[in-house]
Amino acid sequence: MKSALLILLPSLGAFTLGFSPESHLAHGVKMLLPLIAATAVLAILLRRWKDLGLSLVLCLGSLSLFSCHTLHQAEEAKQQGRPLRVFAANLYIGNTELDPLLQHLQKTQPDFIILTEFGFEQQAALAELHRSHPFGLRSPQNTPFGIAVFSRFPGRFQLLQDEDILPSIYADIQLEGRSLRLLASHPFPPLGDTGRERRDRQLRRLAELLPPGSASQPLIVAGDFNSVPWNAPLSDFAQRLNMRGTSGSYCHGGTFPTWAGPFGLTLDHILVSPEFRLKDFQRGPDIGSDHLPISAELEW
C-alpha cells in the first residue's frame, strides 16, 4: 500500500494539473513541487528508494502527456494537392545570433515564415530573407511583441492592433489564381490573472474580426499563442474559426522551454481551416530562442 501511494500520488497529481483549463508552466511547477517534495520525504523516511525513483519517472511521464493535442486535428493528406509549407518561430528578443535559423530555413524552404519577438536587431540580421520572401509585413519592436511575416507570394498585408490586440498581421494572399488568408499573432503570456485575461481577450477579439474559414477563403493561423492545446480559450478560438491543429495524431513534444524536450509545453501553434490537409508536422532545431520552431507541410 505504501509503495502504491509513493508511486501513484505524484504522477496522478501531475496528470491532473496538466489538464486544468488554465494550467501553465509556473502554476504547474508551483503546485507540483510540494507534492513531489512530500513524496520524497516519505520515501526517505520509509527507505523506499526504488519506489521513489519509479514515482518520479511516472511523474515526468505524466507531464510529457500534457504536450498531446486536444484541438481537433487537420485531416492527413491522401492525394497529391498543391503543397504549402508554413514555418513559425518565437525568436526571443535577446537572440541576435540567427545563423542557425537561416540555415534551417535554407534547408526547409518554407513558403510562409511567421516570426514573433521580432526586434530591430533581428530585422537587420534577417535582411537576406527579403530576397527569397519579398512579400509580407514586418513590425519590429524593442519589446517581445514585434512580429513579422515573410511570404513568397504577393497579397494584401495589414497590421492589426488595438487596445485588446497586441500587434498581429492579417493577409489576403494570391497564389496561382487562388486566395488564402493568413493570421500571425502573439498574445500576452499568461502571467497571473491579469496576463491570462489579456491573452484570452486577444483570442476572443481576433475571432470576432475574422469570419470562419469554411465560409470564405482558406485560413492559416500561426504564432506563439502562449497557450497549451487543452486551454479552453484557445479551443474556443479554434472552434469559432473552424480551425484544426497540425501537431498530428500523436504527441510531438513541447516547444517551450527548449531544454525541457518532450516534457515541455506546446505554446506555438499552426492552425488551418478544413480546406487544408496535413502532410507533415515537425518541431525544428534549437535556434537560440527559449522556444523551438515548428513547421507544417500542407496540401490543398
Please say if the pLDDT value at position 138 is more than 90: yes
CB distance 264 to 257 below 8 Å: yes
pLDDT in tens, 118-127: 999 999 999 9
Share of the chain above pLDDT 70, in %: 73
- Identify the weakest region by mean pLDDT among 17-31, 208-222, 238-252: 17-31
Edge-to-edge strand list for the sheet holding 155-162: 155-162, 165-175, 178-184, 219-224, 268-272, 244-245
Query: Structural domains in the chain?
Result: 2-67 (no CATH), 83-299 (3.60.10.10)
Cell of 2: 505504501
Residue in the block written with cell 519577438:
117
- C-alpha 295/C-alpha 300 separation (Å) is 16
Please say if the pLDDT value at position 143 is more than 60: yes
* Average pLDDT of every residue of the chain: 82
Please say if the pLDDT value at position 133 is more than 80: yes
Please say if the pLDDT value at position 101 is more than 90: yes
- Judge if the upstream peptide bond of residue 34 is cis by omega within 30 degrees of 0: no
Rg of the chain (C-alpha set): 20
Would you state the pLDDT for residue 109? 96
Distant-in-sequence, close-in-space partners of 160: CB < 8 Å, separation ≥ 6: 167, 168, 169, 170, 206, 209
pLDDT in tens, 266-288: 899 999 999 999 999 999 999 99
Cell of 201: 481577450
Length, in residues, of the chain:
300
